[in-house]
C-alpha cells in the first residue's frame, strides 16, 4: 500500500529523529477511526514492526490524535493516571513525543518517538519543532503520493 519511496522517507526521518532526540524508538502511524497502524518503525528495541495494528485507545498517540497537537512527556510514571494506561502496563515506555500528521486538515496519523528510560531533561523547543517539521514532510509525501 505504501511505496518504497514513502517508507524510505519515513525511515530516514525516524532514524534522524531517534538520533536528535536520543530515544530508542520512532514510529510513523496511520490512524483510521479507532485503528492505529504502524506504517514505519525504527527501533533498537525490536518491539514493534511495520504493519502491526492496535486499538487507538491502547496507544499514547490517542491523545495526540484527539487533541490534534504535539505531546511531549519525559516521564510517563510521573503523570498521575498514565501509569494505568494500557500501553504503559504492557510496555513501560517512559519518554514520549508525538505529533499529528495532517492531510487535508484531518489527522492522518502520528510521528512519535519513545524510550523505556526516563528522559532527564524536557524536550526543547527545537526538538519539538523538528518533530512538527518532519510531520509536514510526511504530509507532503502523502499528498504528492510518493
Cβ–Cβ under 8 Å, residues 99 and 132: yes
Mean pLDDT (the chain) is: 87
The angle formed by the CA atoms of residues 101, 82 and 73, to the nearest 5 degrees, is 50
- Summarize the chain as % helix, strand, coil (round to 5): 40, 30, 30
Q: State the pTM of this model.
A: 0.88
- pLDDT at residue 46, rounded to an integer: 77
- Picking from 137, 118, 124, the residue whose alpha carbon sits closest to that of residue 11 is 137
Report the percent of the chain where pLDDT is more than 70. Answer: 86
Please check whether residue 132 is in contact with residue 123, taking contact to mean a CB–CB distance below 8 angstroms.
Answer: no
- 68, 80 in Cβ contact below 8 A? no
Supply the pLDDT for residue 89. 44
* Cβ count within 10 A of residue 122: 11
Say what the pLDDT of residue 47 is: 79
Give the pLDDT confidence of 22-62 residue by residue, as tens digits.
Answer: 999 999 999 999 999 999 999 987 778 999 999 998 887 88
CA distances from 88 to 43, 85, 115 (A): 17, 5, 11
Q: What average pLDDT score do residues 116-135 get?
A: 93
- Kind and range of the H or E element at 133? helix 125-144
Per-residue pLDDT for 90 more than 70? Answer: no
- Could you give the C-alpha distances from 60 to 5, 35, 108, 124, in angstroms and in order? 27, 13, 16, 20
20 pLDDT higher than 80: yes
Using 50, 70 and 90 to split pLDDT, how confident is the model at 76?
low
In this prediction, residue 2 carries a pLDDT of 82
Amino acid at each position: 500500500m505504501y511505496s518504497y519511496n514513502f517508507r524510505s522517507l519515513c525511515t530516514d526521518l525516524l532514524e534522524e529523529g531517534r538520533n536528535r532526540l536520543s530515544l530508542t524508538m520512532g514510529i510513523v502511524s496511520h490512524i483510521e477511526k479507532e485503528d492505529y497502524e504502524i506504517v514505519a518503525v525504527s527501533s533498537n528495541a525490536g518491539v514493534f514492526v511495520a504493519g502491526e495494528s492496535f486499538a487507538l485507545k491502547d496507544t499514547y498517540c490517542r491523545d495526540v490524535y484527539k487533541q490534534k497537537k504535539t505531546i511531549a512527556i519525559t516521564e510517563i510514571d510521573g503523570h498521575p493516571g498514565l501509569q494505568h494506561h494500557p500501553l504503559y502496563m504492557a510496555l513501560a515506555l517512559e519518554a514520549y513525543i508525538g505529533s499529528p500528521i495532517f492531510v487535508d486538515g484531518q489527522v492522518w496519523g502520528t510521528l512519535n518517538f519513545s524510550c523505556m528510560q526516563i528522559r532527564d531533561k524536557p524536550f526543547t523547543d527545537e526538538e519539538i519543532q523538528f518533530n512538527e517539521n518532519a510531520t509536514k514532510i510526511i504530509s507532503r509525501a502523502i499528498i504528492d503520493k510518493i
